[in-house]
Amino acid sequence: MGDSCSAFLPLLLLLLSASLVASDSIQDSFYKCLSVNSQISFPLSTSFFTPNISAFTSILQSSAQNLRCLVPSVPKPELIFTPLNESHVQAAVICSKQLGIQLRVRSGGHDYEGLSYMSQVETPFVVVDLSKLRSIDVDIEDNSSWVQAGATVGEVYYRISEKSKTHGFPAGLCTSLGIGGHITGGAYGSMMRRYGLGADNVLDARIVDANGRILDRESMGEDLFWAIRGGGGASFGIILSWKLKLVPVPATVTVFTVPKTLEQGATKILYKWQQVADKLDEDLFIRVIINVASAAAKGERTVQTSYNALFLGGVDRLLKVMSESFPELGLQRKDCTEMSWIESVLYIAGYPSSTPPAVLLQGKSLFKNFFKAKSDFVREPIPETGLEGLWKRLLEEESPLMIWNPYGGMMSKIPESEIPFPHRNGTLFKIQYLTSWQDADKDIAAKHIDWIRRLYNYMASYVSLFPRTAYVNYRDLDLGMNKDGRNTSFIQASGWGNKYFKNNFNRLGF
Ligand SMILES: Cc1cc2nc3c(=O)[nH]c(=O)nc-3n(C[C@H](O)[C@H](O)[C@H](O)COP(=O)(O)OP(=O)(O)OC[C@H]3O[C@@H](n4cnc5c(N)ncnc54)[C@H](O)[C@@H]3O)c2cc1C
| Domain assignment of residue 39, given as a range | 15-129
- Tell me: pLDDT of 8 over 80: no
Give me the pLDDT at residue 486, please. 59
Residue 163 shares a structural domain with residue 310: no
- Tell me: pLDDT of 3 over 70: no
The domain that holds 71 is classified in CATH as 3.30.43.10
pLDDT in tens, 260-286: 999 999 999 999 999 999 999 999 999
Ligand 1 lined by 240 (C-beta under 6 Å): no
Residue 376 shares a structural domain with residue 285: yes
- The beta strands (E) that lie in 54-143 are given as 79-81, 102-106, 125-129, 136-139
Q: How far is 2 from 11, CA to CA, in rounded Å?
A: 16
Q: How far is the CA of 345 from the centre of ligand 1 (A)?
A: 18
pLDDT in tens, 73-108: 999 999 999 999 999 999 999 999 999 999 999 999
Atom from ligand 1 closest to the CA of residue 198: 11
Buried b vs exposed e over 92-127: b needs ≥16 C-beta within 10 Å?
A: bbbbbeeeebebbbbbbbbbbbbbbbbbbeeebbbb
pLDDT in tens, 9-40: 333 333 333 344 466 688 999 999 999 998 88
Q: How far is the CA of 235 from the centre of ligand 1 (A)?
A: 13
pLDDT band of residue 296 (cuts 50, 70, 90) is confident
Residue 19 shares a structural domain with residue 155: no
Residues 204, 131 contacting (CB under 8 angstroms): no
- Tell me: pLDDT of 375 over 60: yes
Ligand 1 lined by 189 (C-beta under 6 Å): yes
Residue ending a domain, among 216, 248, 280, is 248
Residue 148 shares a structural domain with residue 104: no
Residue 382 shares a structural domain with residue 276: yes
Ligand 1 lined by 345 (C-beta under 6 Å): no
* Residue 28: partners with Cβ closer than 8 Å, 6 or more residues away: none
Residue 406 shares a structural domain with residue 488: no
In a domain, 484, yes or no: yes
* Residue 507: partners with Cβ closer than 8 Å, 6 or more residues away: 226, 227, 417, 420
Atom from ligand 1 closest to the CA of residue 106: 30
Q: What percent of the chain has pLDDT over 90?
A: 87
The domain that holds 404 is classified in CATH as 3.40.462.20
In a domain, 68, yes or no: yes
Closest C-alpha residue for ligand 1 atom 49: 233
* CA 214, chain centre distance (Å): 25
Q: How far is the CA of 111 from the centre of ligand 1 (A)?
A: 5
Residue 300 shares a structural domain with residue 440: yes
Query: Cβ–Cβ contacts within 10 Å for residue 450, how many?
Result: 12
- Tell me: pLDDT of 6 over 80: no
Atom from ligand 1 closest to the CA of residue 188: 11
Residue 120 shares a structural domain with residue 142: no
* Residue 238: partners with Cβ closer than 8 Å, 6 or more residues away: 89, 93, 105, 128, 130, 149, 207, 208
Mean pLDDT confidence for 46-58:
93
Give me the pLDDT at residue 18, please. 37
Q: How far is the CA of 472 from the centre of ligand 1 (A)?
A: 10
- 3-class state of residue 277 by DSSP: coil
- Tell me: pLDDT of 507 over 70: yes
Q: How far is the CA of 188 from the centre of ligand 1 (A)?
A: 11
The domain that holds 242 is classified in CATH as 3.30.465.10
Residue ending a domain, among 213, 248, 283, is 248
Atom from ligand 1 closest to the CA of residue 65: 53
Q: How far is 455 from 426, CA to CA, in rounded Å?
A: 24
Q: How far is the CA of 172 from the centre of ligand 1 (A)?
A: 10
| Count of domains observed in the chain | 4
Residue 283 shares a structural domain with residue 396: yes
Closest C-alpha residue for ligand 1 atom 52: 110
Q: How far is the CA of 192 from the centre of ligand 1 (A)?
A: 17
Helix-helix angle 266-276:384-394, to 10 degrees:
120
In a domain, 319, yes or no: yes
Residue 239 shares a structural domain with residue 306: no
Closest C-alpha residue for ligand 1 atom 39: 181
Q: What is the mean pLDDT of the chain?
A: 93
Closest C-alpha residue for ligand 1 atom 26: 108
Residues 220, 266 contacting (CB under 8 angstroms): no
Ligand 1 lined by 107 (C-beta under 6 Å): yes
Q: Which of 173, 199, 203, 110 lies closest to 424 in space, CA to CA? A: 199
Residue 287 shares a structural domain with residue 386: yes
pLDDT in tens, 157-212: 999 999 999 999 999 999 999 999 999 999 999 999 999 999 999 999 999 999 99
In a domain, 354, yes or no: no
Helix-helix angle 2-37:86-99, to 10 degrees:
130
Give me the pLDDT at residue 39, please. 80
Residue ending a domain, among 248, 266, 291, is 248
Mean pLDDT confidence for 44-61:
92
Q: How far is 129 from 117, CA to CA, in rounded Å?
A: 9
Ligand 1 lined by 363 (C-beta under 6 Å): no
Ligand 1 lined by 155 (C-beta under 6 Å): no
Ligand 1 lined by 106 (C-beta under 6 Å): yes
- Tell me: pLDDT of 145 over 90: yes
Residue 321 shares a structural domain with residue 176: no
